[in-house]
Amino acid sequence: MLTFMTSFHGLVLKKFKMFTILKIHSFSSSVCNHRIQSMAASSDVKLLGSRPSSFVNRVQFALNLKSVDYEFIPENLQAKSELLLKSNPIHKKIPVLIHNDKPISESLVIVQYIDEAFPDGSSILPSDPFDRSTARFWAAYIDDKWYPAWRSLADAKEEESKTAALEKITEGLVLLEDVFVKCSNGKGFFGGDILGYLDIVLGCYLGWLKATEISSNLKIMDEAKTPALVGWAERFKNHEAVKRTLPEPRELLHLLRKNSSEPESAQYRSVPVGMESEDLDDSLIVCQRRPSGKRRLLRPSDTDIYSQSVQ
């Protein structure tokens, strides 16, 4: 009887060991397969865009934050590629993210998609439902309210109109200063310790904002009125996910000047009515001096900046 029990016990232990080994092997294979799938997913990512575009930069920041490798495909919006027209047949705009042959359009939608499709690393959107809805609300405010106020600066012809436009821009920044103070909780970014959704949404404009200040001698982001935002802007521009992607203001001004060597009648042509924000990016406003000495605010559509395939 003792011999039987000893043999039975030994058999049970042997089967338990075999079962444990199989389970560990199965788990290891699952982890390995997950890693392989993740690598394959991140390797099949393409971004259609143009380096000077604030909206394209927005998507690049998100990809950088998630450490996603991607292929950048420069687009000339004066001669849109078949790939762009096929990928975004409704709006025909950049940016377009193509992941596993599936196109995603509109920069805010793309950033949210990246956050969900590539869960590794820190989350771009807040995890708390209320905080997440708050971030989306202010992102919509930036693009739908503050951004059009900036666009209106280019349309202002009289000094009075320009002053009114600048006041609206400043009012918006003062409001966003308060949002930053509340969302950051005393930390360095809208997302707290880490770069988050609102950082990406507002930060994508900083290159052109500075270019506007340099070329027109305007002080748009003023430390006296928005000290917290001024400090945030410096931290944002120096972040690892941003500093190699955000175009330098002087680079943007150089591109505009390079494309401005046309006859004055062409150089100062008007911007087409109804130009969508993510098409030729009307927010890219700078100021150029006329031969008469007067200044005129320009947009990239005035100089075909997007014909430049700058990567």
CATH at residue 59: 3.40.30.10
DSSP for 109-173 reads HHHHHHHHH--SSS-SS-SSHHHHHHHHHHHHHIIIIIHHHHHHHHH--SHHHHHHHHHHHHHHH
- The answer as to whether 109 is a domain residue is yes
Would you state the pLDDT for residue 250?
86
Instruction: Provide the residue range defining the domain that includes 106.
Output: 44-117
Residue 220: half-sphere exposure toward Cβ, Cα within 13 Å: 28
pLDDT along the chain (311 residues), means of 10: 47 46 41 38 82 95 97 94 97 97 97 97 94 97 94 81 90 97 96 96 95 84 95 97 93 77 36 35 39 40 32 28
- The answer as to whether 65 is a domain residue is yes
- Which candidate, 226, 124, 220, places its Cα nearest to that of 178? 226
Q: Which helix (H) or strand (E) holds 266?
A: helix 264-267
d(CA 301, CA 280): 6
Would you state the pLDDT for residue 271?
30
- The answer as to whether 82 is a domain residue is yes
Any residues with CB less than 8 A from the CB of 245 and at least 6 apart, and which? 57, 60, 61, 64
Give CA torsion, residues 266, 296, 95, 86, to 10 deg: -20
Q: Which helix (H) or strand (E) holds 18?
A: helix 2-43
- The answer as to whether 107 is a domain residue is yes
Question: Considering its fold, how many domains does the chain have in total?
Answer: 1
Q: Which helix (H) or strand (E) holds 277?
A: helix 277-280
Q: Copy the structure tokens of residue 85.
A: 């027209």
Q: What is the 3 state secondary structure string of 54-110?
A: HHHHHHHHHHHHCCCCCEEEECCCCCCCHHHHHHCCCCCCCCEEEECCEEEECHHHH
d(CA 109, CA 71): 19
- The answer as to whether 228 is a domain residue is no
- The answer as to whether 159 is a domain residue is no
* Contact in structure between 139 and 108 (CB atoms under 8 Å): yes
